[in-house]
Amino acid sequence: MNEHGVLLTVAYDGSAFSGWATQKETRTVEESLRGAILALDPRALGPRGCSRTDAGVHAEGQLAAFDTSLTMPPRGWVLQLNQSLPDDVTVRSARAVHVAYNPRFTSVKKRYRYLLVRDKVPDPLLRNRAWRVGFDMDMDRMVREARAIVGTHDFAAFRSARDVREVTTRTISSVEVGRIASDPRLWTITIEGNSFLYNMVRILVGTLVDVARDVLPEGAVANALEMKERGVAGQTAPAHGLTLMHIDATLPKGAGDPWPP
């Protein structure tokens, strides 16, 4: 009988994973984490992840919960789970929650960051973390175009064909396009919203890049929002440039303090 729940913050390099969600005969983050949990408590239930990141997508702040009858402080869960996890997955923190807590249903806001490298030649140190764009881009034009994303809109044009959900309205609270001061080649596109459709962030980023390259005209985002047709939006940006940075979720009453603080 599982007596309590544990909420984890998980980071991973998605390069060698087929995404978060368990799939047959392929390596996933969820299955790797489940294996580490069951090694400590074979009767544990979970993990229940908050965001089903795609193959190749990274995370710094994924949330996942599981139920267990094993009594252990948060520090113990962090240290013990990390001993069983592969090098490309790490539990960053743990805290006690009630049984059956599911962060997917309490998520309020998610923050994604996309990393672009403007370089004419490949950089092997960034090959799995940033999308190299060798074409000239007007970044001021990208900044202007990004403003159209903010707000509550029907994002039907910014989802892949695999997403068959009937409700496609989402609220994007902020979009920031900025250069990394320590390396002028690197630009980030940070998008915060209440939830996202399948491939939505990657299609938004691809559209912004196509506008900055003058492949699409300014106003392409607004036009796609109005038309609600995938064909009028831009390309889908590669998965390896995307990182799930943070999830704001409503914690249940009685949730314990996290370790590390």
Does residue 239 form part of some domain? yes
**CATH code where residue 136 lies:** 3.30.70.660
Q: Is the pTM of this model over 0.75?
A: yes
pLDDT of amino acid 142: 98
Structural domain including 73 reads 4-105
Residue 259 DSSP label: B
Same domain, 77 and 140: no
Same domain, 192 and 156: yes
Same domain, 85 and 119: no
Does residue 259 form part of some domain? no
**CATH code where residue 86 lies:** 3.30.70.580
User: How many beta carbons lie within 10 A of that of residue 152, not counting itself?
Assistant: 12
Examine the fold and report which residue of 105, 126, 145 is the final residue of a domain before the chain moves on.
105
**CB 21 within 8 Å of CB 81:** no
Q: Any catalytic annotation for residue 119?
A: no
Same domain, 226 and 152: yes
Does residue 197 form part of some domain? yes
Pairing mode, strands 131-133 and 107-118 = parallel
Residue type, 150: V
| C-alpha separations of 259 from 34, 51, 62, 181 in Å | 20, 22, 16, 32
Beta bridge partners of 114: 189, 242
Same domain, 194 and 96: no
Same domain, 202 and 219: yes
User: How many beta carbons lie within 10 A of that of residue 71, not counting itself?
Assistant: 8
Does residue 256 form part of some domain? no
Same domain, 100 and 123: no
Same domain, 152 and 220: yes
Examine the fold and report which residue of 105, 134, 154 is the final residue of a domain before the chain moves on.
105
Cα distance between residue 223 and residue 29, in whole Å? 37
- Kindly give, in sequence order, each residue whose CB lies less than 8 Å from that of residue 24, ignoring residues fewer than 6 positions away: none
Same domain, 121 and 70: no
Does residue 258 form part of some domain? no
The pair of three-digit structure tokens given for residue 81, joined into one six-digit string: 């789970």
Same domain, 240 and 113: yes
Same domain, 151 and 203: yes
Same domain, 50 and 123: no
Examine the fold and report which residue of 105, 129, 149 is the final residue of a domain before the chain moves on.
105
Does residue 18 form part of some domain? yes
Does residue 93 form part of some domain? yes
Q: Point out the catalytic residue in the list 54, 140, 154, 214.
A: 54
Question: Considering its fold, how many domains does the chain have in total?
Answer: 2
- pLDDT average per 10 residues of sequence, the chain (261 residues): 90 97 95 98 97 96 97 97 98 97 97 98 97 96 98 97 90 97 97 96 98 98 97 98 98 95 91
pLDDT of amino acid 1: 66
DSSP helix, strand, coil percent of the chain (3-state; round to 5) = 30, 30, 40
Does residue 250 form part of some domain? no
